[in-house]
Amino acid sequence: MDFLCEYSIAQGYDYKFALEAKPNEPRGDIYMPTTGAMLGFIATLKHEAMVGVNPEVAHETIAGLNFYHAVAQALEAGKLFHIDLNGQKPGRFDQDLRFGQEDAKNAFFLVRMLENYGYKGSLHFDAHPLRTASDDADILGFAKGCMRSYLILKEKARIFDADPVVQELLAQLNPTCTESEALLGEYTPERAAAIQSKQFDVDGITAQALPYEQLDQRLFDILMGVQD
């Protein structure tokens, strides 16, 4: 990668490179099998600013990992140069299914994060139609379906974020605690001492309701279009 980056600089190309991790296929084991491993590798390069990642839904899902967590880490590192969208069952061969075909909830969280974060890069579908698609109409239906599903999930994300029930549940799950916030932030000896001497009201904490079940069901209802 160092050689390639310097060759690109020497030619005046102004290129950037996006590394796409994959855990297996065509080999049983592939070096740097995940987006996280790629991010670790990039940090060791001479021209690391020129190099980012191109995470793919299918590749991270084959490994049984949470795709949107991998994308979140890439965004935080400023390394999401490109993204490959498709669908995939965990633990199978590289299926490259239509975007949203397999796991609508994971696809929802991915689209919501990309949209709310303001990701402005390419939205690339690295997918192919089912083997049974032998006519133009079905193949076109596949290609349009990738884009249609993305846009549907974008609209669902808007509905979810604007939903009063969701907002109330999130406020209950993430209450503002000025005392805790004062203890967080950069390390200082005073903060460390304050954390060590803090008394926690364990009974009070464990008595608080954590309505994650209700929040998840509300998301399901919104995705299915049956919310009140």
Q: Please, what is the minimum distance in Å from the beta carbon of residue 22 to Mn ion?
A: 8
> Counting contacts by CB under 5 A, is residue 84 touching Mn ion?
yes
Distance CA 96, CA 88 (A): 6
Of 86 and 169, CB closest to Mn ion: 86
Of 126 and 222, CB closest to Mn ion: 126
| Side-chain-facing half-sphere of 158: CA atoms under 13 Å | 5
Of 56 and 222, CB closest to Mn ion: 56
Distance CA 105, CA 111 (A): 10
Stretch that binds Mn ion, among 77-85, 129-137, 199-207, 214-222 (CB under 5 A): 77-85
Q: Which of 60, 94, 102, 126 binds Mn ion (CB under 5 A)?
A: 126
Of 123 and 173, CB closest to Mn ion: 123
Distance CA 164, CA 88 (A): 33
> Largest Cα–Cα distance in the chain?
70
Q: Please, what is the minimum distance in Å from the beta carbon of residue 138 to Mn ion?
A: 22
Helix axes 212-224 and 164-173, enclosed angle (nearest 10): 160
Residue 23 contacts by C-beta under 8 Å, 6 or more apart in sequence? 30, 33, 34, 59, 62, 63
Q: Is the peptide bond before 26 cis (omega within 30 degrees of 0)?
A: yes
Answer yes or no: are the C-beta atoms of 157 and 116 closer than 8 Å: yes
Fill in the per-residue mask, 44 to 73: x = in contact with Mn ion (CB under 5 A), - = not in contact.
Answer: ------------x-----------------
Q: Please, what is the minimum distance in Å from the beta carbon of residue 146 to Mn ion?
A: 13
Of 111 and 222, CB closest to Mn ion: 111
Distance CA 109, CA 103 (A): 10
Q: Please, what is the minimum distance in Å from the beta carbon of residue 54 to Mn ion?
A: 7
- Residues binding Mn ion: number (CB under 5 A): 3
Q: Please, what is the minimum distance in Å from the beta carbon of residue 193 to Mn ion?
A: 50
Q: Please, what is the minimum distance in Å from the beta carbon of residue 65 to Mn ion?
A: 15
Six-digit token pair at 77? 């590192």
Of 57 and 169, CB closest to Mn ion: 57
Q: Please, what is the minimum distance in Å from the beta carbon of residue 168 to Mn ion?
A: 40
> Counting contacts by CB under 5 A, is residue 96 touching Mn ion?
no
Strand partners, 52: 18
Of 122 and 180, CB closest to Mn ion: 122
Residue with tokens 């995940």: 34
Distance CA 47, CA 5 (A): 7
For binding to Mn ion (CB under 5 A), which residues are involved? 56, 84, 126
